Each structure stands twice: as structure tokens, then as C-alpha cells.
Chains A and B, each alone.
Chain A
Amino acid sequence: NAGVTQTPKFRILKIGQSMTLQCAQDMNHNYMYWYRQDPGMGLKLIYYSVGAGITDKGEVPNGYNVSRSTTEDFPLRLELAAPSQTSVYFCATALGTEAFFGQGTRLTVV
């Protein structure tokens, strides 16, 4: 089992560009999450999904969109990248209360 797989691992974007961060899981977990991690700030929840076809906003959703067409995939979309979106992004899944994290995507917006 691969667990939670995030791609890409690193990316540099120019201001105003768009991109999709991919997240795939093979654990058949219903819950999936996107977090961003900024230095000294812990992890902040961007969006989450309780199952295929259902998504909801977390603490910091502005500037992002998600979709959940299948149980396995939960992509995060940035439409107009801004320097404030420079961060490390983590996707996670949960079975009950225990969360499993991917390796992260380090995004820099210049």
C-alpha cells in the first residue's frame, strides 16, 4: 500500500498562474483533508471531504478549490497564485479519528 501520495513534491509558480496539487490514497478512507503548514503556525485546514461528492471549507479556504469525484482522489486547485500561498501543503486521510499524512508539496509563488 502506498498510503497517501502527493504530487508534485516541489513547485515554483509565478504570481497569477494556476496549478493543481494532486492527492491520491489507496486506503479506502472516507475522510480526506488539505492542510497548509507555515513556519511557526502549525497546520491550518483548507478544505475537507467526508466522502466522494462532498466537500467543505476549513479554516483558510480563500484562494483554493477542491473536488472529490472518487474516494481515492482529492485534488487542490489554486486558480490565481499569490505570494501568500507560498507554503507546504499536506493532504491527509482519516479512518475514524486517526489521520494519515502524505509527504507534502512545497510550493513557492514568486
Chain B
Amino acid sequence: GENVEQHPSTLSVQEGDSAVIKCTYSDSASNYFPWYKQELGKGPQLIIDIRSNVGEKKDQRIAVTLNKTAKHFSLHITETQPEDSAVYFCAALETGANNLFFGTGTRLTVIP
């Protein structure tokens, strides 16, 4: 099955700075890569996703980039705010089945 690795496991940034989280995947046939945000005591929520036919996607302060050749994708958060503090998970969709394989998560702390 798909194997997704995520780094770093923890990240602290000053409010207003940028944050970058990186993931790699193993299955070159995977074609869908979502990012989820999990706040304390809640289930993960989709914040942005990217498909393999696109190299970059932006949604306000959040962007995701994908390098299919290198099999890695990244989440970029600009102008971070305290409410961005959460655990972020990357995932890759297993081809053939509709199953997501998740990275181990990054705990982002935005310091006011």
C-alpha cells in the first residue's frame, strides 16, 4: 500500500511568519493529495487538496505544491495567525480503492 511520510512533527512560528510542512509518498500512481487540519478534540477537516495534473493550488493564505517526479508535496501557510495552531495531516489516495493514507501529522504552534 501507499506510504506517506511527513515532516516536521512539530513546528513553532511567530505570528505573521510562514509555515511549511512537507510530505513524501511512495506510490507513483497516487493522484490525489489532501491536507487536513485537526483542532483539539475534533476530527480532521479538509483544508485544501491537489490533484496530480496540477503543480500548485492556492486558497487565500494556504497553498499546496506537488512535485510528481520527486513524489513530494508541501503545505504553505502565509501570514500565520494563532487560530492556525492545530495538527495538520497530509494524505495520499491509494489508487484502485478510495482509501486515504495519512502522514503522521505536524503540530503547528503560532506564537502571538
A102: which of B43, B89, B93, B98 is its contact (CB, 8 Å)? Answer: B43
Q: Mark B69-90, 1 if CB is under 8 A from A, else 0.
A: 0000000000000000000010
B13 at the interface (CB under 8 A from A): no
Residue of B nearest to A40 (CB): B104
A101: which of B44, B97, B105 is its contact (CB, 8 Å)? Answer: B44
Taking CB atoms, residues of chain A closer than 8 Å to B32 are: 97
Interface size class on chain B is: 20 to 34
| B46→A98 contact, CB < 8 A | yes
| B104→A41 contact, CB < 8 A | yes
Interface size in chain A (residues, C-beta < 8 A): 26
B42 at the interface (CB under 8 A from A): yes
Taking CB atoms, residues of chain A closer than 8 Å to B46 are: 98-100
A33 at the interface (CB under 8 A from B): yes
Least CB distance from B66 to A in Å reads 15
Residue of A nearest to B5 (CB): A42
| A101→B43 contact, CB < 8 A | yes
| Sample of 7 A–B contacts (CB below 8 Å) | A48-B97, A98-B34, A98-B46, A102-B43, A103-B41, A104-B41, A104-B43
Which A residues contact B (CB, under 8 angstroms)? 4, 31, 33, 35, 40-45, 48, 50, 58-59, 90, 92, 94, 96-104
